[in-house]
Every structure is written in C-alpha cells, then in structure tokens.
Amino acid sequence: MQNLIAAKLKELRKENGMTQVDLAMKSGVGLNFVRELEQGKATVRMDKVAQVFALFDYELVPQKKLDK
C-alpha cells in the first residue's frame, strides 16, 4: 500500500513540475515528511498524507484490497 501511495505522489509531483521542497512548502508539511512519504515509509500520519494529496485534488478513501 505504501509503495502505491509513494509512487502516485512522486508521479503527481513530477507531472506538476514540482520539487520535493516545492511540494512541502505548498502543502504545508515538512520536507522530511515528503521525503519519507515518497520513500514509502510505513508509519506516516494519515492526516498529513491527505493534506499533501489535497494539493492535487485527490482524497484518501477506504477501499477493499485489490486482487493481486
């Protein structure tokens, strides 16, 4: 799950021509948080994850696991 979130965030950030510093500043979280999130750290605050994704008009929703 973390890797999907990390990959999507990195993709959105690059599509929008932003650096990690830009993303941290515009979303109101710390640079270390952005770095850890993009690296797929398993223990991050979900409210901050939602805050970062809101910048791109995304929201986090509960969803049944996808088949592998």
Segment 7-24, tens digit of pLDDT: 999 999 999 999 999 999
Quick: pLDDT tens for 6-65.
999 999 999 999 999 999 999 999 999 999 999 998 888 999 999 999 999 999 888 887
Band of residue 2 on the pLDDT scale cut at 50, 70, 90: low
DSSP string across 17-62: T--HHHHHHHHTS-HHHHHHHHTT-S---HHHHHHHHHTTT-----
With cut-offs at 50, 70 and 90, classify the pLDDT of residue 1. Answer: low
Rounded Cα–Cα distance for residues 46 and 25 (Å): 18
